[in-house]
Structure 1
Amino acid sequence: MALGQQEGQQEQGQHPAASITAAAARAPRILFLLGPAFVAAIAYVDPGNVAANLTAGARYGYLLVWVLVAANAMAMIIQYQSAKLGIVTGHSLPELLGGRMRTASRRSFWVQAELVAAATDLAEVIGGAIALQLLFGLPLLLGGVIVGVISMIILAVQSRRGQRPFETVIMTLLGVIALGFLAGLFVSPVNWGDAAAGLVPRFEGTDTVLLAAGMLGATVMPHAIYLHSALARDRHVPAGGDNPHAGRTAASIRRLLHATKWDVAAALVLAGAVNISMLLTAAANLGGVTGTDTIAGAHAAITAALGPVIGVIFAVGLLASGLASTSVGSYAGATIMAGLLTVRIPLLLRRVITLIPALIILGIGVNPTWALVLSQVFLSLGIPFALIPLIRLTGDRMLMGPFANRTVMRIVCWVVAVLIVGLNVALIGLTIAGGLGP
């Protein structure tokens, strides 16, 4: 009887030694499946994040730490839902929306999604140009051109060699970004008591609402919501054929979803740590320092406070952020166009077209840091257009079958959507009232 029980436990995976062996065997498989979320996570550490987080820390210290923590928690939920949609259905979010909309609605939706992608690209090219100016003294316009050219090279890797090598390049750049922005935190005199107090949700005036919206737009980014469903589909769903479910079982899909949870958690914990470190570094070193209302000014203050080595590492992190995020942004724009318009243009051609607005902004001399912050506010306004359809689709049992969100998760997702939309409505009201400005 005892032997029979033991055999039964082994068959069910309950024997301790068997559980350890099975876990060890699963670990390499899970590691191999990681990647799509790390590409999407680049959107959460782009130059727009740098501008919004440094501005918030320099002006208001630790006040808005809670915004980053809440935004990162929301991002984990949202990005997993996007990846889940792509894995289960075998289609990207833009494809599913395009198949459900009439022609006029689909084109209108595409216009707003493209404007979001353009705002994303604006922030990323400007951020990379600022980094090149900090490192080598290059003019911003020339820096923008160089960022565009290098991003074309990165996109060529995806076009010619496929997604896996592209993921490797982007994950390497993400490591550089993390090093660049986490380095200063280890030598900053952070007041951890005040940082903990910053976890209490509150605002202080209309400007903090603008910054909170910018931080939210820079963290929960709409183009990443569209993109992650395509990344997960392209990595995990067999290509070809009209039936994306061919050759797949419910058990295999569950395994993929389990690996995706780890992918999203690891990628966004890293991205969240980078974002929070930016704000803490700014709060500890830039408060009361004049001239920190620009990234260049903040870089100078950080260099003066923490030393030239930290200043160089910071600028290198900013450059890696611009290069990686502009490449991912172009990929997202192509995904949006292909899904909503069923039109595909070469990634490199799209890169050239979307580079033009950023170069114009750099050429006419607009304050680049303020342009970055405003681009993130615009992105925040675009989140509901991606998020609300995502929640509805992942809760649709006809579409998702047994993998449709259950009641508790649907409620959580709708609470997230209400919070985001509420902040956006407040932002619009304050803007109309004339209470916001650079």
Structure 2
Amino acid sequence: MSEDVKELPISVEEGWKNKRTQSTLPEVYRSVRIPKTGSWIKKFLAFAGPGYLVAVGYMDPGNWATDIAGGSLFGYTLLSVILLSNLMAILLQALAGKLGIVTGRDLAQACRDHYSKPVAMGLWILCELAIAACDLAEVIGSAIALNLLFGIPLIYGVIITALDVLVVLLLQNKGFRFIETLVIVLIVTIGGCFATEMFLSKPDVGGILKGFVPSTEIISNPTMLYIAIGILGATVMPHNLYLHSSIVQTRKYQQTSLGKRQAIKYATWDSTIALFFALFINAAILILSSATFHKAGLTEVADINDAYHLLTPILGTTIGSILFGVALLASGQNSTLTGTLAGQIVMEGFLNIRLPAWLRRLITRLIAIVPAVIVTALYGESGTTQLLILSQVILSLQLSFAVVPLIKFTSDRKKMGEFVNPIWLKILAWIVAIVIICLNVYLLIRTFFG
């Protein structure tokens, strides 16, 4: 591996305290070459990939629990929340990609450079808690899928998911494109399963279109607002901001103003298109729940197990339940794979430690596996849905601590130079941050004071 693949260019930039250090993914840093000539399509395809790894986090099993609950209880009404959350995610992921491309730092490294050591450590601990909560949802989701499809007990299913560490190691040794290809194949599998189920469930098109229009009832109805905040937490994933700001640096774009500007453009297209796939899948889960459970008067279906077993009698065919299980398994495995990468980036970025690749993967995986094994052993199937929804609430609470530094850094001319956010983008980004913070404050008040 050549030296420029392992190390970031060393230079002191105005606005940053320290020199840029080694990438948090040194094995794949600047490993994907970008053609200097050819059509824009050829260049875009070279940049395409990281956005799909990011999109995985927006369709993980945690989303399933909140989307199923929202669809069965309130029909199509919360589709507008999924849409707005997705638009917020598109904006924030674009900023994360730009931070990585322009500064050569991922968000974790930028926080370590900018803030004092105690603050940076606090942000790291919060982020690790969010990743553990997210991984808990993904691990349990995969275990539930294995149980539903093959009858494997949940506790063994959780342990089996640890094998994805070996998959990541194997694929990353073959090149980052192999990981991206696997992720895209699994996303297509999930999309195909839900497209078929949408056809079988025959949803109300008029109701769907109306559901994408925001309703004041979402704010006035406490139960609806609680689930809406859960959907927000499940959609806009804090660890994905750290992940995206690092993996965009797998592309070997030119380290010039023009090269970086081109990289920002194509990376933004990549993440935006990928997140629209996530929007389709999240909306499809809620639509399926609404068109089957809500329509049949089953307004309290929030359990993935119940959803799996009820789809067959409602749709009149076993293929509905099978496709649901296959999509859940693909979603869980996809999410654990990218979650492992995010865990590595966060740990190395905040702590500036260098560990062997296998040890990094093992540590980040155990952070999720150990709590999942304990929780599953204690609560079994009865507690899995509550854990999934709780994990999304935890993610929502941590989101502000990733979003605010991201907007702050990308809006600072000393740190970003000519690539600083324009005024309109600063205003829009801070509005998004304020909305997230206000919803989280409401959630805390309602959780602790009823």
Task: Identify the residue that residue 419 of structure 2 maps to in structure 1.
Answer: 403
Provide the C-alpha distance between the structure 2 equivalents of 1:29 and 1:433, rounded to a whole number of angstroms: 53
SS for the counterpart of 2:417 is: helix
The residue type equivalent to 2:331 in the other structure is S
Task: Identify the residue that residue 183 of structure 2 maps to in structure 1.
Answer: 170
Is the counterpart of residue 322 in structure 1 residue 323 in structure 2? no
Shift of residue 291, structure 1, vs aligned partner: 6.8
Is the counterpart of residue 293 in structure 1 residue 302 in structure 2? yes
Task: Identify the residue that residue 281 of structure 1 maps to in structure 2.
Answer: 288
Provide the C-alpha distance between the structure 2 equivalents of 1:157 and 1:177, rounded to a whole number of angstroms: 23
Correspondence 1:44-63 to 2 at 5 A: 44-63=58-77
Is the counterpart of residue 225 in structure 1 residue 241 in structure 2? yes
Shift of residue 31, structure 1, vs aligned partner: 1.1
Label 1:143 to 1:328 Cα distance change in 2 as closer, same or farther (>3 A).
same
Label 1:293 to 1:426 Cα distance change in 2 as closer, same or farther (>3 A).
same
Which one of 77, 81, 106 corresponds to residue 120 of structure 2?
A: 106
SS for the counterpart of 1:365 is: helix
Provide the C-alpha distance between the structure 2 equivalents of 1:388 and 1:290, rounded to a whole number of angstroms: 37
Shift of residue 290, structure 1, vs aligned partner: 6.9
Shift of residue 158, structure 1, vs aligned partner: 4.5
Provide the C-alpha distance between the structure 1 equivalents of 2:71 and 2:299, rounded to a whole number of angstroms: 13
Larger Rg: 1
Is the counterpart of residue 255 in structure 1 residue 244 in structure 2? no
Which one of 307, 312, 315 corresponds to residue 303 of structure 1?
A: 312
Contact 2:102 2:416 in 1 (8 A): yes
Label 1:399 to 1:376 Cα distance change in 2 as closer, same or farther (>3 A).
same
Moved over 6 A (4+): none
Provide the C-alpha distance between the structure 2 equivalents of 1:226 and 1:417, rounded to a whole number of angstroms: 16
Provide the C-alpha distance between the structure 1 equivalents of 2:102 and 2:38, rounded to a whole number of angstroms: 26
Provide the C-alpha distance between the structure 2 equivalents of 1:353 and 1:405, rounded to a whole number of angstroms: 35
Which one of 41, 53, 78 corresponds to residue 64 of structure 1?
A: 78
Which one of 320, 345, 348 corresponds to residue 338 of structure 1?
A: 348
Task: Identify the residue that residue 29 of structure 1 maps to in structure 2.
Answer: 43
Task: Identify the residue that residue 75 of structure 1 maps to in structure 2.
Answer: 89
Shift of residue 348, structure 1, vs aligned partner: 2.9
Provide the C-alpha distance between the structure 1 equivalents of 2:171 and 2:426, rounded to a whole number of angstroms: 35
Provide the C-alpha distance between the structure 1 equivalents of 2:394 and 2:67, rounded to a whole number of angstroms: 16
Provide the C-alpha distance between the structure 2 equivalents of 1:398 and 1:353, rounded to a whole number of angstroms: 36
Contact 1:289 1:301 in 2 (8 A): no
Shift of residue 333, structure 1, vs aligned partner: 1.1
Provide the C-alpha distance between the structure 2 equivalents of 1:349 and 1:24, rounded to a whole number of angstroms: 41
Which one of 155, 180, 198 corresponds to residue 141 of structure 1?
A: 155
Shift of residue 236, structure 1, vs aligned partner: 4.1
Deviations 1:260-306 (A, max 9, x none): 12201210010001000110110010112277231010111222222
Shift of residue 181, structure 1, vs aligned partner: 2.6
Is the counterpart of residue 39 in structure 1 residue 53 in structure 2? yes
Shift of residue 69, structure 1, vs aligned partner: 0.4
Shift of residue 234, structure 1, vs aligned partner: 2.8
SS for the counterpart of 1:343 is: coil
Contact 2:73 2:299 in 1 (8 A): no
Contact 1:213 1:423 in 2 (8 A): yes
Provide the C-alpha distance between the structure 2 equivalents of 1:103 and 1:234, rounded to a whole number of angstroms: 28
Provide the C-alpha distance between the structure 2 equivalents of 1:90 and 1:291, rounded to a whole number of angstroms: 47
Is the counterpart of residue 88 in structure 1 residue 89 in structure 2? no
State the TM-score, normalized to the length of structure 1: 0.88
Shift of residue 353, structure 1, vs aligned partner: 4.0
Correspondence 1:340-355 to 2 at 5 A: 340-345=350-355, 346-350=359-363, 351-355=365-369
Provide the C-alpha distance between the structure 2 equivalents of 1:347 and 1:319, rounded to a whole number of angstroms: 24
Shift of residue 404, structure 1, vs aligned partner: 0.7
Provide the C-alpha distance between the structure 1 equivalents of 2:71 and 2:53, rounded to a whole number of angstroms: 27
The residue type equivalent to 2:222 in the other structure is T
Provide the C-alpha distance between the structure 2 equivalents of 1:295 and 1:236, rounded to a whole number of angstroms: 42
Deviations 1:244-271 (A, max 9, x none): xxx6221111111121122012100100
SS for the counterpart of 1:410 is: helix
Provide the C-alpha distance between the structure 1 equivalents of 2:72 and 2:227, rounded to a whole number of angstroms: 12
Q: Which runs of 5+ in 2 are unaligned?
A: 1-36
Shift of residue 148, structure 1, vs aligned partner: 1.8
SS for the counterpart of 1:378 is: helix
Task: Identify the residue that residue 12 of structure 2 maps to in structure 1.
Answer: none
Contact 2:97 2:268 in 1 (8 A): no
The residue type equivalent to 1:169 in the other structure is L
Correspondence 1:121-140 to 2 at 5 A: 121-140=135-154
Task: Identify the residue that residue 210 of structure 1 maps to in structure 2.
Answer: 226
Contact 2:76 2:207 in 1 (8 A): yes
Task: Identify the residue that residue 445 of structure 2 maps to in structure 1.
Answer: 429
The residue type equivalent to 1:314 in the other structure is F
What root-mean-square deviation, in Å, do the aligned CA atoms of Structure 1 and Structure 2 show? 1.8
Task: Identify the residue that residue 384 of structure 2 maps to in structure 1.
Answer: 368
Provide the C-alpha distance between the structure 1 equivalents of 2:215 and 2:349, rounded to a whole number of angstroms: 38
SS for the counterpart of 1:377 is: helix
Deviations 1:144-181 (A, max 9, x none): 111222x1232113442232211111121111122223
Provide the C-alpha distance between the structure 2 equivalents of 1:169 and 1:96, rounded to a whole number of angstroms: 30
Deviations 1:47-106 (A, max 9, x none): 001111011101111121110000001110011110111011111010011012222222
Task: Identify the residue that residue 8 of structure 1 maps to in structure 2.
Answer: none
Deviations 1:96-146 (A, max 9, x none): 110122222221111111001100110000000010111011111111111
Provide the C-alpha distance between the structure 1 equivalents of 2:172 and 2:391, rounded to a whole number of angstroms: 28
State the TM-score, normalized to the length of structure 2: 0.86
The residue type equivalent to 1:177 in the other structure is I
Deviations 1:352-402 (A, max 9, x none): 343110111111125111110110011001111000100011111111111
Task: Identify the residue that residue 313 of structure 1 maps to in structure 2.
Answer: 323
SS for the counterpart of 2:432 is: helix
